[in-house]
Amino acid sequence: MINRRSQGLNKREKKVLNRVILGVVVLSLLFLLFAPGRGVFPYRGLKKEVQRLNTENKTLQQQNVELAQEIERLKHDEAYFEQLARDKFGLLKKNEEVYELRKK
């Protein structure tokens, strides 16, 4: 018995051991690829989500710039402010009257 251990594994035992190791490696890889919340598919989904959020972020930044420009224009351009007040809110100056003309 002591003599056999010092010689190592025979051919059949090595083959079985190699298959077990290969099976463990394959199962580990499959787990890494398809594990819920950790695998390749959730990673790809998260990558798409990051892309979508980056696009949305760029759009919001552009809207922010446009709104900041609008605020500056409202602060400094009285004619624009007055026109907006008339068009959007229907406001009038003192002693102004509105006449509606309708076609018959």
When pLDDT is cut at 50, 70 and 90, the band that residue 1 belongs to is very low
DSSP label at 103? -
With a pLDDT cut of 90, the percent of the chain lying above it is 45
How many residues can be counted in the chain?
104
Q: What is the pLDDT of residues 70-104, one digit of tens each?
A: 999 999 999 999 899 888 888 888 888 878 888 87
Instruction: Single out the residue of 94, 75, 93, 74 nearest to residue 84, CA to CA.
Output: 74
Query: pTM of this prediction?
Result: 0.54
Instruction: Single out the residue of 59, 10, 78, 101 nearest to residue 51, CA to CA.
Output: 59
Q: What is the pLDDT of residues 24-73, one digit of tens each?
A: 999 998 888 877 777 777 788 889 999 999 999 999 999 999 999 999 99
The per-residue pLDDT for 91 is 82
